[in-house]
Structure 1
């Protein structure tokens, strides 16, 4: 994911079919809900409706670069999903920025126009009898929308929220009315989050977490006894993967065009299909944003993304072609 902090590489594409259009939204407001965090309220310049979205969704944001090119970054939506006329994103100012957060903090101002993509969701909120939310830092952004959804559905929930300092933790004021259901634990006051109580699974409960990779790795370890599908993550960066299953080339058949191509060990499926004249929209090239998802009609992919759950991988009906490869000698893709 991807997500509320920079989670993608450069993408110079100007023909992204999912983008809402040139200068697609206007910055109606910019405020600062925490130290180092800017919240942008985005509206249609013509005051029209924006596409609907669901809790956990993110949008692509086109960020101009100093060399004149564009980069695409993903940020979680964190506002009111029932407001059809505005989006909100909250962006952490990264000390080592690749051009996304610095631009949105220092260059973008109220009244400016910026291009965005239609919302996508690879971190959707599944039904449960109860939710445990765990957020680290700017990872609170998608969790805010899930809390609102749980409240509206009348489902019990609790939030464990950590950050470097209390001043750096966004939305504490908005969360304050929920009382002791919100456990704010700044690291300078409490140390690392105590995850020991999550060791045993709780029937009917699902865990949703977003934050930096060390936190997510700790949660994975702490919840190892929980059933598959009951603990869900959204990541800022790709998880380190084992070496590919196949060390040699494999064949990819493009079902719609009838083309058959060979993917060599030195190139990605994304690169190979583009060279064959069937380019796939992509953004992060790390397997975290979900932009390059393609249907799999035959064969077994070597899933190397940081998005799909074990159960979703076992279905072998889709893959993210920027990073995933093949287990079988041949794949048939819906391209």
Structure 2
């Protein structure tokens, strides 16, 4: 571990270290940075998992973690997931993530966000940040005042705006690929799709499904979110609670709310032949593989979440070329072919799609990844 360095002009302290002993030597992180600014109250951790394919890209999560250890565990897990997401999406980016410890409703301020932006800038382009839970487009605009290494900005500041637009389109695209794999046609007309969570992404996904002629059933803990969907799409059915939705007669189940949506009880209760949704970290065993294997045993085609929800990261990464919605949308359409490739690999090798997706991502990193971590020169 390097010694802390204090910038006397800002009172900002950074501690960085590279793959210490406790980290898995195969999957260890390149760099983890602790960020503290006393004046604004900023406490943040930036984790760079890999820069083999390019600068690490990943959002900033603003969340009231109970302890610093909880924050560290989350940022390490999320940043590693971003390496796989970017690799499978065909981006020239590695994986990174940041967490700001605190309640965004109480602790977020311009001073705090700008202090955070200075820490991002201090990494010299090794990490590019974006929105995540608790941060929004307007926050990225503030961070951008201190660093150019931020995407997901508003359109007036040269960004792409709300990334949920292409996230939802990507989920719909991957779902069509799953349908083609399972039923021989990518048409969803007449299929019953259950959407758990109709916030930003789920709400937009429902619109795509209705336009495609699917019968849509939804649930959400927010009555306001459900009412908004029903107002726009009166034919949508509503059930009370995720358990009721899971036990409904479905062709496709789309978890679009919290992580851990697929536990053993849920997997065993599902009637759907396809699981394809926008939620992150859907497998409640945290990638151990047991639930992915159980889905395979039950004949349920699971589209890995980090493949399915990559539309948002594709959208914001396009800002680096000067954002163009048509170009970004075309890139997101490529998730159809990627989903086909993952499902074909899984079927050929008799493995779960989750494992097949990991293998394809790892192969791309090994084939074209840089021998040395990315350094801005």
Structure with more strand by fraction:
1
> Structure 1-normalised TM-score?
0.39
> Structure 2-normalised TM-score?
0.35
Structure with more helix by fraction:
2
